[in-house]
Every structure is written in C-alpha cells, then in structure tokens.
Chains A and B, each alone.
Chain A
Amino acid sequence: MSHDNTQAHGGGEHGHHVVPMKVYFGVFGALLFLTVVTVAVAQVDLGPMNMLVAMLVATVKASVVCAFFMQLKYDEKLNTIIFVFGLIFVALFFLFTLLDVFSRGFLDPRQDNLYMQQEAMQKQRYDIEQKVNKPLPGVGLAADTPPKDELVPPPPPPSAPDGGLLPDGAVPPAEGSAPPSDVAAPPTEAPASGAPSAP
C-alpha cells in the first residue's frame, strides 16, 4: 500500500488533501440540479426508459458523492478498490439471482404455466372480492398459494413392498435384492462392462 499519492510525511506535518471550497459548492449545485432532472424526467412517460434514466442519474449522483464528499478522488486508491469490489459482489448477487428469476420456464414449460395460472387466479379472486366487497376466506398472504389440485401432481411416493408408505428419505429396496443393511456393502459381481476383472 503506498501513501505517496495523498500523504506528505515531512516534518510531522501530514498534509491531508483539503478540497477547495468551490468544489464543495459545485458538487452541491450539481446534486441539486440532478435531483431536479430526475424528478422532471419521471413526469414524462418514456416506458422502460424511465427506469434506465432514473438509475443513470442516481448513479451519477452517487459517483459524485463518493468522489468528492467522501473524497475517494483524493484518497488512497485502496479505499476505492475496496468499495468497487463490494459493488462487484452486489452485481454478482443480482446477476445470478435475476438470471434464475427471468429464465424460469425456459427449460420447464410447466413452471411458466404454473405462474400464469397463479396470477390469473389471483386476479380472478381479487375481482370477485371487489364485487362482493369482502375478502374471500384465506385471503392475504395465503392467497399466493394456489389450490393443490391446480398444481402439477407430484410423482407418486415410493411404496414399500407391503404397500405401506416408507418414512421420508427411505430408499425402497429393489426387487429381489439383499435386505437394506447390506446396501452399503461393495458389489460382489464385476460390473457388466465386458472386460473381465482380475479376482
């Protein structure tokens, strides 16, 4: 870590960078101006561009605050690196989570249908509520879960040989195999790969 870009060590005087007063006033003016800009742009309907412009303006404001009020511009570079690394991890966090959210249904179309069904049902339920002017039973957070019969039926649970249900996590024994206590034992036969293995 090098100090030479900000710190002067001569004679006990350590010269922290004193930002000129006019820079502070300039930054303050810029922040006020950008606030007016972001409010003004929001009054115009630009569709999805509204979000883009708002985030762009906010990021310019945030960068100005970081550079001048928080003095990253005059500071040791290490602090900027630390902060930018934090932001990179935020970007990773967003990237992989939103990749999941926005790609649901790409691989499994049933998932997509499920979400559309849920949404349609919620809308329907909501419209009925508005008509009768009182909440239907089970409304609120529970309304987010659709009735069981609308869901894709889960695969049938594995059943034990006697017809009863196995406890959760139990593996049903294959037909004609050894009892479960021997499952972990190494196989006695050579794998059916064709090449004979030495005994």
Chain B
Amino acid sequence: MSTIVKHHHAHHFANSAQEFSASKMGMWLFLVTEVLLFSGLFLGYAFAKSLYPEMWYEASKQLDWKLGALNTLVLITSSFTMALAVNAAQTNLNGEKTGRLVKLLVATIALAGAFLVVKYFEYSHKFHMGLLPGPLYTFGGINEPNAHLFFGLYFLMTGLHGFHVVVGMGLLTWVTIRASKGHFYSEYYTPVEVGGLYWHLVDLIWIYLFPLLYLVG
C-alpha cells in the first residue's frame, strides 16, 4: 500500500490544477440541481403544513425524534470522517497515508450503512402502524383529517434522501477501491474531493429534514 500510481491529466486540460478545478466546478453545478430537486419537496412541505397546521403537528409527533437525532449524529460523524479522508488524501505524499485514507472512507461507508439500518427500523414501524401515504394510511390515532399528506411527504423526502445515501455509498465504494490501489495522493485526489462534496450534500439535506419532520412539525 505504500506505492502510488501517478495520475496524468486528460489531454484537453492544460494541467492537473485546471482539471481539478473544472471537475470541482462541475460537481458544484450538479449539487445546485440536487438542491433544486429537493426544493420542490420542501415547498410541498411548506404548502401542506400551511393548509393543515394542527394535523401536521399531530402527525409529526408520530415520528420518533430520538431515532432522527441518532441518525443526525451518524450523518454528521460520516461527514466528519469524509472530510478527514480528503485531508488524508491531500497529505498523502508517497503513499504513506493510503491506509489511513482507505480506513476513513470505509468508516464513512459504514456510517452510511448505519443510517440506513436506523431508517429501516423507522420505516418498518411506520408500515406496521399504517402510517402511510394516501389511501394506504390506516392509522387511527391522529384526531385530524388528511394525516396521510404528512406521511406522503415524509416518505417522499426521506425516501429521496435515502436513495442519495445509497448512491453515495456506491460512489464512495468505488473511491475506496481506487484508493486502496494507490490512485490518490497529494497531487491527484479529485474523486475523493468530488465524492466528498456529494456526501456532504447528503448531510446538508438531512440537516434540514431532521428538524422539519421530527422536531417542529
């Protein structure tokens, strides 16, 4: 693991610094489209909550904020390990930090997996209780009409976010495999950086989803 594989920048770039900043800018443009994608759901949230504030409050109490808070801690920690992974790649001069980079990436993926496990328990509880969208809603404990709307948005927002977690895990697995082959070092670590940006966005979305769904309702 102590050897590195030299990267040669693609022929259409003047140098590897230009390649790096172009890749990064492309990722930021993509992240903007991701924010716009989620903003539609956030707007739907604002609209439905403004129509039925009492129902919203009652329905959000059906979510377990402790599990939501646990998942928030898990995702923040995974963002932290991801940031440290980028740092390890930046300071990996001759492959001496490749092992540390791989460990940090594996930790990030493991934390993403832990997030999904918690989400699985939450979802199966909701399925069991009939806290489901639209006509599937069969729960009897909320004394307000239209509570299916809340759970429709809950599943759409957390579902789309969970899908991003799965995609991020796949992306980081690919980065980890390449890292273990010694592809990333101080002069070239673009996939670590760009994959990290994607992962931090997943964290960013959750930072808003957690209070909106679990806390304020």
Contact surface of A with B, Cβ cutoff 8 Å: 3, 7, 9, 14, 16, 18-19, 21, 24, 27-28, 31-32, 35, 38-39, 42, 50-51, 54-55, 57-58, 61-62, 65-66, 68-71, 75-76, 78-79, 82-83, 85-87, 89-90, 93-94, 97-98, 101-102, 122-123, 125-126, 130, 140-141, 143-144
Contact = CB atoms under 8 A, between A and B. Distances in A.
Interface centre among A28, A130, A144 (most CB of B within 10 A): A28
A19 B87 contact: yes
A28 B145 contact: no
Contacts of A97: 43, 47
Nearest to A60: B207
Given A24-B83, A28-B80, A51-B216, A58 B91 contact: no
Contact of B25 (A9, A39, A78, A93): A78
Q: Is the interface of A mostly helix, strand, loop or mixed?
A: helix
B145 A68 contact: no
B129 to A, nearest CB: 17
B200 A7 contact: no
Q: Is the interface of B mostly helix, strand, loop or mixed?
A: helix
A68 B215 contact: no
13 contacts: A16-B20, A16-B186, A35-B76, A51-B216, A54-B215, A58-B207, A69-B80, A70-B197, A82-B28, A83-B28, A102-B50, A126-B144, A126-B145
Nearest to A6: B21
Contacts, number: 143
B24 to A, nearest CB: 7
B134 interface: yes
B25 A82 contact: yes
B5 interface: no
Interface centre among B83, B87, B146 (most CB of A within 10 A): B83
Contact of A144 (B46, B80, B146, B215): B146
Given A35-B76, A65-B204, A94-B43, A123 B145 contact: yes
Nearest to A125: B145
A13 to B, nearest CB: 8
Interface residues of B, number: 57
B211 A7 contact: no
B173 interface: no
A35 B32 contact: no
Contacts of A93: 36, 39-40, 43
A42 B65 contact: yes
A66 to B, nearest CB: 7
A57 B207 CA distance: 9
A39 B69 contact: yes
Contact of A83 (B21, B31, B186): B31
Contacts of A32: 73, 76
A86 B36 contact: yes
Interface string B56-85: 000000000100010011001101101110
A192 to B, nearest CB: 49
Nearest to A80: B28
A197 B47 CA distance: 56
Contacts of A42: 65, 211, 215-216
Contact of B91 (A18, A83, A140): A18
Contact of B135 (A24, A57, A141): A141
